[in-house]
Amino acid sequence: MERVDGKCPQRRSKTKNCTVIFHGDQPMKLDGLSAFRTAILHFSDDPTKVGEKESYTYFPDGLLLVRSGMVEKVGPAEKLLPQLSAQTPVTTFPHSLIVPGFVDCHVHYPQIEMMAAPGGQLLEWLDQYVYPVERQFADPHKAAQRAEFFLDELLRNGTTTALVFATVHPASVDAFFTVAQNRRLRMICGKVMMDRNVPADLTDTPESGYQESKTLIARWHGKDRLRYAVTPRFAPTSSDAQLARAGQLLHEHPGLYLHTHLAENRDEVDWVGKLFPDRSSYLDVYAHHGLLSRRTVLAHSIHLNTRDFQLLHQKEAGIAFCPSSNLFLGSGLFDLKTAEAEKVRVGLGTDIGAGTSLSLLRALNEAYKIQKLRDHVISPFKMLYLATLGGAKTLDMDDKIGNFEPGKEADFTVLDCDATPLLAMRMAACRTLAEKFFVLAMLGDDRAVAATYVMGRPAHLRDRSVSV
Ligand SMILES: [Zn+2]
């Protein structure tokens, strides 16, 4: 049992990895000041850009202070504890690490039920598995059920913000945002636009896609912590007329996101060349319709040339690197080194159902291996940056989430460094901080997530025997 000071606590609640200690006899005030004590790590910038030492702050025995859902302060426990009143509840997590909530920059919530479906590469796999499942999301009841399950799983994996594909049905977006709003989550989602090259009952039209998106934007964009993304599936499934309407939506509603796929698979790239013969590249299709901005996130972006990366930099568009999905479908090895050299923002995406895990720790494991195959080594610090502040920057949300600067929203994840016997044994043998972070990223997964907090409140506790 950990003690936070010399006083004898009046009340205690205990789970396997979490001890909540109340100093006085006051009940815990959820909207008052709360404190969380363990090792704490967060980033202020990209280690690749500013150098490792300048990129992060680490407190081996830290205290995170949260008031009314927002970060008030973070620092050494020794310094901050004496400043707390006796009424402030302090939650202590032994052998743990608090990091900002993970950010998933590309994921499809309707596809959670067809994860791990064996098959060919992208285009065949879409026909065989994805479209039959997405068809079911016309049913609001089904969509609501899946949205609840998906968000439970996301939180169980320590992810607190995601950029999410729904389906072509407006009901799928309403269901997702309703559930996310009830959980006070910061989420981005949008109705898929696709008017060709998919089964007829899954198509919209340039006009219906535009009108339905407009209605959803009015209903959800900017409501609480929710934001809307205009979401053409990818260039092959939208006509020029539809992509033009997507551009019109962005023009009419400043602040919207644009979320789509780019250059995932070689057959797809060849197909785009045939469908859009007047465009100089796949990326140029999106550029031509005014779809590239600071709030654009392009999933995959594997088969690009240096000119494409330069255009992405010029337009400030971001990339979602989806290592698990890229390996599963055999799509290719993302060129992170060139993206870094050309100063393009990159975050991580799990991209389920093609990805095989919702864990961003698992994504880091596979990202590391992909980059090794490209003769590029990702440092342990860069890995944890990508899963937190790097994702927040890619989503242009780093003014709200991504680290523990005072005033930011207090979404955070508590990683249990002893989650499995192997992890505990390996951690004990680590000699440096970098090695510890590397081991956590390589061997960790959902089992390592002891708790996930949203706006300072517990949204997932691995051991549910006690609610804090
Ligand atoms: Zn995807």
Q: How far is the CA of 438 from the centre of ligand 1 (A)?
A: 27
Q: How far is the CA of 321 from the centre of ligand 1 (A)?
A: 10
Q: How far is the CA of 315 from the centre of ligand 1 (A)?
A: 22
Q: How far is the CA of 440 from the centre of ligand 1 (A)?
A: 26
Q: How far is the CA of 330 from the centre of ligand 1 (A)?
A: 14
CA-to-CA distance for 399 and 409, rounded, in angstroms?
9
Q: How far is the CA of 431 from the centre of ligand 1 (A)?
A: 38
Q: How far is the CA of 351 from the centre of ligand 1 (A)?
A: 5
Q: How far is the CA of 234 from the centre of ligand 1 (A)?
A: 9
Q: How far is the CA of 289 from the centre of ligand 1 (A)?
A: 21
Q: How far is the CA of 264 from the centre of ligand 1 (A)?
A: 9
Helix H or strand E encompassing 271? helix 266-275
Q: How far is the CA of 158 from the centre of ligand 1 (A)?
A: 20
Q: How far is the CA of 189 from the centre of ligand 1 (A)?
A: 13
Q: Provide the whole-model pTM.
A: 0.93
Whole-Å CA distances, 376 to 148, 170, 368, 369, 433: 38, 42, 9, 9, 21
Helix, strand, coil percentages (3-state) for the chain, rounded to 5, are 40, 25, 35
Q: How far is the CA of 106 from the centre of ligand 1 (A)?
A: 6
Q: How far is the CA of 194 from the centre of ligand 1 (A)?
A: 14
Closest among 466, 421, 420 to 446, alpha carbons compared? 420
Q: How far is the CA of 229 from the centre of ligand 1 (A)?
A: 14
Phi, psi of 392 (to 5 degrees): -60, -40
Phi, psi of 92 (to 5 degrees): -110, 130
Q: How far is the CA of 7 from the centre of ligand 1 (A)?
A: 53
Contacts 24+ apart (CB under 8 A), 309-312: 309/338, 309/339, 309/341, 309/342, 309/344, 310/342, 311/283, 311/284, 311/287, 312/283, 312/342, 312/344
Q: How far is the CA of 37 from the centre of ligand 1 (A)?
A: 37
Residue 353's Cβ-side half-sphere holds a number of Cα atoms within 13 Å equal to 22
Q: How far is the CA of 406 from the centre of ligand 1 (A)?
A: 34
Q: How far is the CA of 62 from the centre of ligand 1 (A)?
A: 37
Q: How far is the CA of 213 from the centre of ligand 1 (A)?
A: 19
Q: How far is the CA of 452 from the centre of ligand 1 (A)?
A: 25
Q: How far is the CA of 352 from the centre of ligand 1 (A)?
A: 7
Q: How far is the CA of 260 from the centre of ligand 1 (A)?
A: 8
Residue 418's Cβ-side half-sphere holds a number of Cα atoms within 13 Å equal to 8
DSSP states of 185-204? -EEEEE-EE--SSS-GGG--
Q: How far is the CA of 299 from the centre of ligand 1 (A)?
A: 6
CA-to-CA distance for 194 and 233, rounded, in angstroms?
6
Per-residue pLDDT in tens (0 to 9) along the chain, 468 residues: 333 332 323 334 444 455 554 433 344 444 489 999 999 999 999 999 999 999 999 999 999 999 999 999 999 999 999 999 999 999 999 999 999 999 999 999 999 998 888 877 788 888 888 999 999 999 999 999 999 999 999 999 999 999 999 999 999 999 999 999 999 999 999 999 999 999 999 999 999 999 999 999 999 999 999 999 999 999 999 999 999 999 999 999 999 999 999 999 999 999 999 999 999 999 999 999 999 999 999 999 999 999 999 999 999 999 999 999 999 999 999 999 999 999 999 999 999 999 999 999 999 999 999 999 999 999 999 999 999 999 999 999 999 999 999 999 999 999 999 999 999 999 999 999 999 999 999 999 999 999 999 999 999 999 864 334
DSSP states of 318-381? EEEE-HHHHHHTT-----HHHHHHTT--EEE---TTTSS-S-HHHHHHHHHHHHHHTT----HH
Query: What stretches of 196-263 show up as alpha helix (H) in DSSP?
Result: 206-220, 240-252
